[in-house]
Structure 1
Amino acid sequence: MQATLAVTVPFFALVLLGYVAARRELLPDAAVPGLNAYVLYFALPCMLFRFGSSLPIRQLIDPLLIAIWAVSALCVIALTIVLTLRRAGRPGGVGMTDAAFGALVAAFPNSGFMGVPLLLELLGAYAAGPVISTLLIDLVLTSTVCLALAQARVHGGHMETSLLHSAARALRGAAANPLPYAIALGAVAAATGQRLVGPVERVVFMLADSATPVALFTIGAVLWRAGRHAHTRTPPRHYLPVALIKLFVHPLVVFVVGHIAVATGAPVSRSGMTALVLAAALPSASNVSLLAERYGADNGRVARIIMASTVLAFGSFSLLAWLLGSGVLRR
């Protein structure tokens, strides 16, 4: 356990430092979007390109692991919506828009800003391929499904806004994200054996090296900013269950789906499954709070789900990483 905490404590400590810096106004509120943009458009793409260009294509893209993650994500989305959607005679539920955003934070872990560096530190280089694959699925499939459901309008039993139209709009938003392009360019570089010119490679690697500490610091700052700008005060019964789904149900679903695949004879790698389960146990993606505000959802609820999952993940993720690393859950 001590070895696991030696890895996880610094990661979560950097998140805490970012939160404290934003709360104490050492980092101005107006600077947080710029810091987020630096990570999203510069540092993180360079880090993903570097990993993608260093991995064989078979290790980067494993169809079985991708299928397990996609099926698990859809199951978590469906479960979260069923459990949280408002129904006649049942108090405490929310509308479809908020239920869909709750499903998004329940099924979309913070793989980019936190997961890639953390799991590489814990598991080694083999974790890069599975975690990068999960990020691709979440950016394209998970977010598209949830945003399409969030935009759809149902009135009198009829769908007023086409799900296909909503999904197309969500896909256009995903197409503007630079991370899939960075992964694809890295895969092309690995497949062709091409390398960047010396000075260009050095710049890319310098930006990549800055991604981990700046991204973790930014998570904390984004969490503070999201909570500060939240339009509503959300009671715990509206956000805590979704945070618990993220931290406990999501990794359990991935574990079960993976073992069902193994039972059917699919050649699923044990190391790949370990990476997937730990990726599912990560806290919710912090940037979803920005999407919630943009799409008119209850960003206060979303911000508190993300905050709760991030705080609780220090204990739950560390414990799960230790259990998997010690082999307790693999016996």
Structure 2
Amino acid sequence: MQAILAVTFPFFALVLLGYLAVQRGYLPESAIPGLNGFVLFFALPCMLFRFGSSMPFAQLIDPVLIAIWGGSALLMVVFTLALSLRRTPEGPGVSMKDAAFGALVAAFPNSGFMGFPLLIGLLGDKSAGPLIGCILIDIVFTSSLCPALAQLRPASETATKHGLLAPFGRALRGAISNPLPWAIALGALVAAVGLPLPGPVNDIVRMLGDAATPVALFTIGAVLWRAQQHVHTRTPVRDYLPVALVKLFVHPLLVLSGGVVANAAGANVSHFALLVLVLNAALPSASNVAILAERYGADNGRITRIIMVSTALAFVSFSAIAWVFGVRKD
């Protein structure tokens, strides 16, 4: 456990430093969009491009692993929707819009900004292949489905005459504009063609990719602080703590169960690949969901609290799950 904490502590410490830097005024709030843009459009795409161009396509797109991850994400969405919409003695559940974004934040781990560098630090570069498949599913499928569900209206309204298809199409067009899948695809294309980048260009890509880890983790903390400052409503603990716990414990359990079922069906999923998926599911919620919820007019206060609680608890829960599954970092 001590060896695992030695790897995980710096990652979560950088998140805390980003939070404190903005809180104490060392980093102005106006700089946060710039940091986020640098990571999303420059540093992370370069890191993903390098991994996409350094391994065979079959390691990037494994249909069985994608099915396990996608099926688990769908079950997480359904389960969290039911949890959020249920009536309790304390009162009715949240609205459909808020429940849909709660489902997104429960099913969408922080794979890009945190998971990629953390799991590579724990498990080595070979964990990149399974992770890339997870990122593609999260960006293209999960982050399109949940905003589409958030836009559903009562059946009596004409806006629903096309059901889920129209809002899903709009959300999918937004997801496709994300640069990360394109960076992966471009890297895979370069690998398939076998055409190396010119030396100076390769150096630029390497330098930007190397900057992704510290800047991304620092940015998570800064984004969390910003999201907290723009919260205008008070959210009862019962509306956000259960979803955070579902994210940290139910999600990895569902992924593990999916791997067990796949192996029972003869899919022959390797222990290592399944471990990568389980640890990815054990990550805290993606911080950018709070920005997306605010854009769609959902209760970003609830979403922010889910992200913050899951991030704070994940330092212990993620390390414990890694230890239980026998991760050894020498």
Please give the secondary structure, in 2, of the residue aligned with 1:296: coil
TM-score normalized by the length of structure 1: 0.96
Could you list the per-position Cα deviations for residues 45-102 of structure 1 after superposition, in whole angstroms to 9, with x for gaps in the alignment?
0000011111111111111100000000000000000111154977151011000000
Q: Aligned residue pairs: how many?
A: 327
Which residue in 1 is equivalent to 2:109?
109
Q: Aligned equivalents of 1:19 and 1:299: distance in 2? A: 18
Q: Which residue of 1 aligns with 2:270?
A: 269
Distance 1:171 1:158 in 2: 22
Residue 231 of structure 2 aligns with which residue? 230
Q: Does the CA-based 8 Å contact 1:86-1:95 persist in structure 2?
A: no
How much has 1:37 moved relative to structure 2? 0.6
2:109 is paired with a residue whose SS is coil
Alpha-carbon distance in structure 2 between the residues aligned to 1:199 and 1:270: 39
State the Cα distance separating 1:160 from its structure 2 match.
Answer: 2.8
2-structure distance, mates of 1:153, 1:310: 32
One-letter identity of the residue aligned with 1:14: L
Gapped regions of structure 2 (runs ≥ 5): none
Which amino acid in 2 is paired with 1:325?
G
1:257 alignment counterpart: 258
CA distance in 1, matches of 2:282, 2:327: 17
Counterpart-to-counterpart distance in 1, 2:313 and 2:86 = 26
Deviation at 1:156, TM superposition (A): 4.8
- Work out the CA distance in 2 between the residues paired with 1:274 and 1:89: 39
Contact residue 4 and residue 327 of structure 2 kept, 8 A: no
* Corresponding residue number in structure 2 for 1:133: 133
- Percent identical across equivalent pairs? 65
Structure 2 contact 101–146 (Cα < 8 Å) conserved: yes
1:173 corresponds to:
174
> Which range moved further: 82-91 or 28-37?
82-91
Give the counterpart letter for 2:127 in structure 1.
Answer: A
- Residues of 1 paired with 2:106 and 2:175: CA distance? 19
2:295 maps to 294
Aligned-residue offset at 1:325:
2.2
Q: Deviations over 1:220-257 (max 9, x none)?
A: 00000000111212121110100001000000000111
- Quote the residue 2:54 is aligned against: 54
Structure 1 residue runs without a partner (length 5+) = none
Q: Give the 5 Å matches for 1:140-155.
A: 140-155=140-155
Q: Which residue of 2 aligns with 1:91?
A: 91
Q: Match for 1:3: what amino acid?
A: A
CA distance in 2, matches of 1:92, 1:108: 25
Q: SS at the partner of 2:207?
A: helix
Asked whether the 8 Å contact 1:92–1:237 carries over to 2, the reply is no
Preserved contact between residue 92 and residue 238 of structure 1 (Cα < 8 Å): no
Tell me the residue number matched to 1:214: 215
Q: Which amino acid aligns with 1:322?
A: W
Q: How far, CA to CA, are the matches of 2:177 and 2:35 in structure 1?
A: 18
- Tell me the secondary structure at the aligned position of residue 326 of structure 2: helix
| C-alpha contact (below 8 Å) 1:53/1:189 kept by paired residues | yes
AA of the residue aligned to 2:258: V
User: Does the 8 Å CA contact 1:111/1:135 hold for their aligned counterparts?
Assistant: yes
Equivalent residue number for residue 75 of structure 2: 75
Q: d(CA) in 1 for partners of 2:88 and 2:260?
A: 37
* Segments ≥4 residues shifted beyond 4 Å: 86-90, 155-159
* Paired residue secondary structure (2:325): helix
Query: AA paired with 2:49?
Result: F
